[in-house]
Amino acid sequence: MRLKSVISIACLAMAVTACSSVDRIVYRIDVPQGNYLQSYEVEQLKAGMNAEQVQYLLGTPVLTDPFSANTWYYVYLEQRGYEKPDQHTLTVNFDHNRIVTSFHLDRPLLDSDQVFENNTIIDAKPAKSAWWKFW
Protein backbone atom coordinates (compact mmCIF):
# COMPACT_ATOMS: atom_id res chain seq x y z
CA MET A 1 0.00 0.00 0.00
CA ARG A 2 2.79 2.38 0.86
CA LEU A 3 4.56 1.66 -2.46
CA LYS A 4 1.40 2.51 -4.40
CA SER A 5 1.07 5.87 -2.68
CA VAL A 6 4.74 6.70 -3.30
CA ILE A 7 4.44 5.78 -6.98
CA SER A 8 1.19 7.72 -7.37
CA ILE A 9 2.69 10.81 -5.71
CA ALA A 10 5.77 10.56 -7.93
CA CYS A 11 3.61 10.22 -11.06
CA LEU A 12 1.45 13.14 -9.97
CA ALA A 13 4.51 15.30 -9.30
CA MET A 14 5.98 14.48 -12.73
CA ALA A 15 2.65 15.21 -14.44
CA VAL A 16 2.21 18.54 -12.66
CA THR A 17 5.75 19.73 -13.37
CA ALA A 18 5.44 18.82 -17.05
CA CYS A 19 2.57 21.27 -17.49
CA SER A 20 3.80 24.78 -16.99
CA SER A 21 1.55 27.82 -17.08
CA VAL A 22 4.51 30.19 -17.21
CA ASP A 23 5.68 30.85 -20.74
CA ARG A 24 9.06 32.28 -21.72
CA ILE A 25 10.76 31.53 -18.45
CA VAL A 26 14.20 31.04 -19.99
CA TYR A 27 16.08 34.15 -21.16
CA ARG A 28 16.85 34.16 -24.88
CA ILE A 29 19.60 36.41 -26.16
CA ASP A 30 19.26 38.71 -29.16
CA VAL A 31 20.71 36.96 -32.21
CA PRO A 32 21.95 39.19 -35.08
CA GLN A 33 23.09 37.41 -38.25
CA GLY A 34 24.46 38.53 -41.59
CA ASN A 35 25.60 42.01 -42.55
CA TYR A 36 24.72 44.60 -39.91
CA LEU A 37 22.95 47.24 -42.00
CA GLN A 38 22.65 50.74 -40.60
CA SER A 39 20.55 53.50 -42.12
CA TYR A 40 23.39 56.03 -42.39
CA GLU A 41 25.53 53.51 -44.31
CA VAL A 42 22.75 52.68 -46.76
CA GLU A 43 22.11 56.41 -47.28
CA GLN A 44 25.75 56.82 -48.39
CA LEU A 45 25.27 54.20 -51.13
CA LYS A 46 24.93 55.94 -54.50
CA ALA A 47 24.60 54.86 -58.11
CA GLY A 48 27.96 55.23 -59.85
CA MET A 49 30.08 53.82 -57.00
CA ASN A 50 32.42 50.97 -57.90
CA ALA A 51 32.40 47.53 -56.25
CA GLU A 52 35.40 48.31 -54.02
CA GLN A 53 33.68 51.38 -52.59
CA VAL A 54 30.51 49.41 -51.89
CA GLN A 55 32.49 46.66 -50.20
CA TYR A 56 34.38 49.23 -48.10
CA LEU A 57 31.11 50.89 -47.07
CA LEU A 58 28.94 47.82 -46.40
CA GLY A 59 31.39 44.96 -46.07
CA THR A 60 31.53 41.68 -47.97
CA PRO A 61 28.10 40.60 -49.24
CA VAL A 62 26.43 37.57 -47.71
CA LEU A 63 25.47 36.24 -51.13
CA THR A 64 26.64 36.85 -54.68
CA ASP A 65 24.16 35.72 -57.32
CA PRO A 66 25.55 32.51 -58.87
CA PHE A 67 23.82 33.19 -62.19
CA SER A 68 24.85 36.84 -62.40
CA ALA A 69 28.05 37.97 -60.68
CA ASN A 70 26.79 41.53 -61.00
CA THR A 71 24.30 41.24 -58.13
CA TRP A 72 25.21 41.34 -54.45
CA TYR A 73 22.87 40.61 -51.55
CA TYR A 74 23.33 42.05 -48.07
CA VAL A 75 21.03 40.24 -45.65
CA TYR A 76 20.57 41.23 -42.02
CA LEU A 77 18.46 39.04 -39.74
CA GLU A 78 17.87 39.79 -36.08
CA GLN A 79 15.78 37.92 -33.57
CA ARG A 80 15.21 39.65 -30.25
CA GLY A 81 14.32 37.22 -27.48
CA TYR A 82 10.95 35.62 -28.21
CA GLU A 83 9.92 38.07 -30.94
CA LYS A 84 9.59 37.15 -34.60
CA PRO A 85 12.79 37.47 -36.65
CA ASP A 86 13.30 40.83 -38.37
CA GLN A 87 15.00 40.56 -41.79
CA HIS A 88 16.27 43.31 -44.10
CA THR A 89 17.67 42.58 -47.56
CA LEU A 90 19.68 45.07 -49.61
CA THR A 91 20.22 44.13 -53.27
CA VAL A 92 22.99 45.94 -55.16
CA ASN A 93 23.19 45.61 -58.97
CA PHE A 94 26.33 46.38 -60.98
CA ASP A 95 26.98 46.77 -64.69
CA HIS A 96 29.72 44.87 -66.54
CA ASN A 97 32.33 47.44 -65.36
CA ARG A 98 31.42 46.77 -61.69
CA ILE A 99 29.72 50.17 -61.27
CA VAL A 100 26.50 50.39 -59.20
CA THR A 101 23.48 50.81 -61.46
CA SER A 102 20.74 50.30 -58.88
CA PHE A 103 20.09 49.11 -55.35
CA HIS A 104 16.97 48.17 -53.45
CA LEU A 105 16.25 47.83 -49.72
CA ASP A 106 13.18 45.68 -49.12
CA ARG A 107 12.14 47.34 -45.83
CA PRO A 108 13.25 50.62 -44.26
CA LEU A 109 15.82 50.40 -41.48
CA LEU A 110 15.45 52.01 -38.07
CA ASP A 111 17.12 55.39 -37.67
CA SER A 112 19.93 55.63 -35.16
CA ASP A 113 17.66 57.39 -32.65
CA GLN A 114 15.02 54.63 -32.97
CA VAL A 115 17.39 51.76 -32.30
CA PHE A 116 16.16 49.38 -29.62
CA GLU A 117 18.30 49.42 -26.50
CA ASN A 118 18.23 46.42 -24.23
CA ASN A 119 20.54 47.82 -21.59
CA THR A 120 19.36 48.88 -18.16
CA ILE A 121 21.58 50.55 -15.58
CA ILE A 122 20.82 49.50 -12.05
CA ASP A 123 22.19 51.56 -9.18
CA ALA A 124 23.07 48.89 -6.63
CA LYS A 125 25.48 49.22 -3.76
CA PRO A 126 27.78 46.29 -3.12
CA ALA A 127 26.95 44.28 -0.04
CA LYS A 128 29.36 44.52 2.85
CA SER A 129 31.15 41.28 3.44
CA ALA A 130 33.93 40.20 5.67
CA TRP A 131 36.79 37.94 4.72
CA TRP A 132 35.72 35.29 7.22
CA LYS A 133 32.23 34.81 5.76
CA PHE A 134 31.99 32.05 3.23
CA TRP A 135 28.29 32.30 2.37
CATH of 28-112, one of 3.10.129.10, 3.30.1330.10, 2.40.160.10, 3.30.1450.10: 3.30.1450.10
124 or 7: which leads in pLDDT: 7
Tell me the per-residue pLDDT of 85-128, one tens digit each, with 9 for 90 and over: 989 999 999 999 999 999 999 988 876 555 555 555 556 666 66
Amino acid at 31: V
Q: Would you say 70 and 95 are in contact if contact means Cβ atoms under 8 Å apart?
A: yes
57 or 121: which leads in pLDDT: 57
Domain residue spans of the chain: 28-112
- What's the average model confidence in pLDDT over 35-45? 90
17-31, 48-62, 91-105: which range is least confident on average? 17-31
- What's the average model confidence in pLDDT over 13-37? 76
User: Which candidate, 28, 35, 34, 40, places its Cα nearest to that of 112?
Assistant: 40
> Whole-prediction pTM value?
0.65
